[in-house]
């Protein structure tokens, strides 16, 4: 089964007319030719249904006008079995244990953290209870690594993969989104940090979401030469992000990503590793 382990559904209250979008978000919506939640949902669900990809994890982000929150993602996943629930929690939350158990009951397949936006330092001892819960329920932690471009704010250094050491030492299965790679040449780069950690820790993986963009293609070429690191890679898109190889609005984004990775020479294992990791 081919799983896109990292995608996004927009918030059901989203209104493009009143939204002051940044360049990245504007680019995505122009590409999709969608103006509201209904159009976005229809386009995404139909594309997934027609693509080679079997299921997509829609990652919630709480308190963001553009992204669906936990409650909305739960509802969507109940209505459409092609979508899987990726919950968003804050390790500092005073009610963490109850909220954690709630999303488990709602069939969350992973927990996502966006450190810079949520102002969470994953090296902080306040996260240790969170790691205990992840280990107890054997659920992976998906963490944004590298500079965040879509949801601004916060300390970007919180997205440094080196801060994952505590979770990894606790035995948590961690997926570093974007491999810590930079998007623009002038930005700080955390890719080598992820590489070093991936070699050190058996339980560290990296998703390939948003990795096919002009500058990031160089990282993929390096990875293809390293069989050890290739065993840590997981297929993902970061939908509505799309690869630069196809800018046509009528193309299928899921298939565009799949075909690009295949054409580059990545082995079939990157496409089914998500299923194994999520124990589906």
Range 220-244 average pLDDT = 94
CA distance 119 to 56: 27
Residue 103: predicted pLDDT: 98
Range 20-46 average pLDDT = 82
Q: In what order do the strands lie in the sheet with 174-177?
A: 3-7, 55-59, 83-88, 108-113, 141-144, 174-177, 204-207, 233-234
How many CA atoms lie within 13 Å of 117's alpha carbon, on the beta-carbon side?
20
Q: Which two tokens stand for residue 162?
A: 């080196």
pLDDT at 18 over 70: no
Residue 148: predicted pLDDT: 85
CA 49 to chain CA mean position, Å: 20
Q: How many separate helices (H) and strands (E) can be counted in the chain?
A: 12, 8
Range 123-128 average pLDDT = 98
CA distance 245 to 247: 7
24 or 197: which leads in pLDDT? 197
pTM of this structure? 0.95
Neighbours of 179 (CB within 10 A): 28
Range 241-265 average pLDDT = 83
Domains along the chain? Answer: 3-278 (3.20.20.140)
- Segment 135-170, tens digit of pLDDT: 999 999 999 999 888 887 789 999 999 999 999 999
Which residues face 142 on adjacent strands?
112, 175
Give first-to-last CA distance, the chain, whole Å. Answer: 9
With contact defined as beta carbons under 8 Å apart, do 213 and 243 qualify?
Answer: yes
Residue 247: predicted pLDDT: 56
CA distance 197 to 202: 9
CA 271 to chain CA mean position, Å: 15
Confidence of residue 109 (pLDDT cuts 50, 70, 90): very high
CA distance 240 to 210: 9
Of 169, 181, 108, the closest CA to residue 144 belongs to 181
pLDDT at 82 over 70: yes
pLDDT at 30 over 90: no
Residue 248: predicted pLDDT: 58
Q: Which residues contact 40 (CB under 8 A, 6 or more apart)?
A: 9, 10, 14, 32, 34, 240
Residue 277: predicted pLDDT: 96
- Segment 202-227, tens digit of pLDDT: 999 999 999 877 778 889 999 999 99
Lowest mean pLDDT among 31-35, 145-149, 204-208, 247-251: 247-251
């Amino acid at each position: 089964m081919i799983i896109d382990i990292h995608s996004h559904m927009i918030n059901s209250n989203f209104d493009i007319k009143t939204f002051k979008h940044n360049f990245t978000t504007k680019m995505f919506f122009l590409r999709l030719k969608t103006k509201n939640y209904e159009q976005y949902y229809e386009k995404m669900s139909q594309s997934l249904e027609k693509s080679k990809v079997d299921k997509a994890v829609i990652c919630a982000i709480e308190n963001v006008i553009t992204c669906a929150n936990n409650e909305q993602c739960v509802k969507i996943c109940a209505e459409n079995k092609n979508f899987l629930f990726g919950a968003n929690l804050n390790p500092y939350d005073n009610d963490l244990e109850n909220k954690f158990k709630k999303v488990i009951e709602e069939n969350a397949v992973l927990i996502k953290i966006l450190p810079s936006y949520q102002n969470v330092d994953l090296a902080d001892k306040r996260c240790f209870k969170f790691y205990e819960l992840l280990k107890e329920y054997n659920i992976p932690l998906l963490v944004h690594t590298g500079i965040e471009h879509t949801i601004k704010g916060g300390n970007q250094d919180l997205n440094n993969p080196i801060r994952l050491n505590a979770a990894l030492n606790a035995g948590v299965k961690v997926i570093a989104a974007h491999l810590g790679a930079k998007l623009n040449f002038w930005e700080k780069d955390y890719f080598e940090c992820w590489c070093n950690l991936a070699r050190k820790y058996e339980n560290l993986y990296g998703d390939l979401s948003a990795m096919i963009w002009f500058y990031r293609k160089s990282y993929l070429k390096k990875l293809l030469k390293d069989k050890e690191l290739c065993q840590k890679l997981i297929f993902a898109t970061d939908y509505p992000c799309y690869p630069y190889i196809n800018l046509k609005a009528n193309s299928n984004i899921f298939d565009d990503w799949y075909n690009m990775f295949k054409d580059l020479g990545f082995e079939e294992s990157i496409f089914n590793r998500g299923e194994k990791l999520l124990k589906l």
